[in-house]
């Protein structure tokens, strides 16, 4: 047929390619591809010029502002003796 690769069964379900952990070239390529994909995903998340990127940035800002407001309100509600404001003159 074609190129047949050595396989082994995992849990009796799917065949997996056998990998030699000492294969330096394979490990280097895999590490490089994983880093590239991680950088690509990080760049997409930080890109505020695209629709999803802008939506993500605005969502993070909104969540941060909401968290600050909730924290401020909780501290205000927890204060048992609020200082009265001076009367206007």
Q: What is the DSSP string of 48-84?
A: TTSHHHHHHHHHHHHHHHHHHHHHHHHHHHH-SSPPP
Asked whether residue 71 is domain-assigned, the answer is yes
Kindly state the helix (H) or strand (E) to which residue 8 belongs, with its residue range: strand 7-10
What is the model's pTM?
Answer: 0.39
Chain center to CA of 32: 19
Domain holding 42, by residue range, is 35-78
Asked whether residue 59 is domain-assigned, the answer is yes
pLDDT tens track for 29-39 = 999 999 999 98
pLDDT tens track for 10-31 = 555 555 566 666 788 888 899 9
Q: How far is Cα 19 from Cα 4, in angstroms, rounded to an integer?
A: 15
Asked whether residue 1 is domain-assigned, the answer is no
Q: Is 23 helix (H, G, I), strand (E, B) or coil?
A: coil
């Amino acid at each position: 047929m074609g190129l047949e690769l050595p396989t082994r069964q995992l849990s009796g379900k799917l065949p997996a390619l056998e990998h030699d952990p000492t294969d330096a070239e394979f490990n280097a390529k895999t590490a490089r591809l994983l880093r590239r994909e991680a950088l690509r995903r990080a760049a997409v998340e930080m890109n505020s010029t695209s629709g999803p990127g802008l939506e993500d940035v605005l969502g993070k800002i909104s969540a941060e502002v909401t968290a600050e407001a909730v924290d401020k309100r909780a501290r205000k509600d927890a204060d048992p003796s609020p200082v009265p404001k001076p009367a206007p003159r």
